[in-house]
Amino acid sequence: MVKAASQPAPTPLRPRQSLTLGKWVYALAASVLLIVGGTAIYELNSKPPHGSIEVASSNPRNAAVDLFEATTARGIGNEDDAAPLQQVTLPTAVVRLSVTLPRFSQIGEYRIMVSTDRAGSHVVATGVGVAQETVGKVRVNVTLDLRSAKPGAYFLATVRGSDNGTYYYPLQVER
């Protein structure tokens, strides 16, 4: 009888090795997801909120505008100012502005803008704040960056967030 040459039996894959490789793949994928997710959360939380201004490079100047007794001009077609506002002047700087809104103004979110025209087509600076009532007057605080504004005549606009009512007031920007 002829004996067949015996061949070595194939080496079975060890289940432990394939599971270990699978665990490494899952661990690597989980690590990448954690890093990407953590980076995204950090980026979202480190950005300044909408309407805020980075003021680290300049010292903000405080200013106040009292519109409580002001006659308002609404919209772009209203060119006649029956009782013009007393001279309001702001500096060409980063300004922490406190605005006392006109009589009968409501509390809530307001956008305060400085523009070259009543249409608001060329806005120089804008800030958003929440108006609150204190001692019978409604005030809103915003930060405006007027460093790029050239000295001259502008309009200060108040825009109430919920109804988009926009009111314009003459403003002078000086150095």
Domain assignment of residue 4, yes or no: no
pLDDT tens digits along 6-41? 666 666 655 555 557 778 788 888 888 888 877 777
Domain assignment of residue 98, yes or no: yes
pLDDT tens digits along 87-140? 689 999 999 999 999 999 999 999 999 999 888 889 999 999 999 999 999 999
- pLDDT bucket at 143, cuts 50 / 70 / 90: very high
Domain assignment of residue 8, yes or no: no
For 43, the domain range is 15-47
- pLDDT bucket at 44, cuts 50 / 70 / 90: low
Q: Are residues 107 and 165 in the same domain?
A: yes
Q: Are residues 32 and 71 in the same domain?
A: no
Select from 26, 18, 24, 171 the least CA-distant residue to 99.
Answer: 171
- pLDDT bucket at 84, cuts 50 / 70 / 90: low
- H-state helical runs in 2-150: 15-46
DSSP of 35-72, one letter per residue?
Answer: HHHHHHHHHHHHSPPTT----TTS--EEEEEE-TTPPP
Task: Identify how many contiguous H helices and E strands the chain contains and give both numbers.
Answer: 1, 9
Domain count, the chain: 2
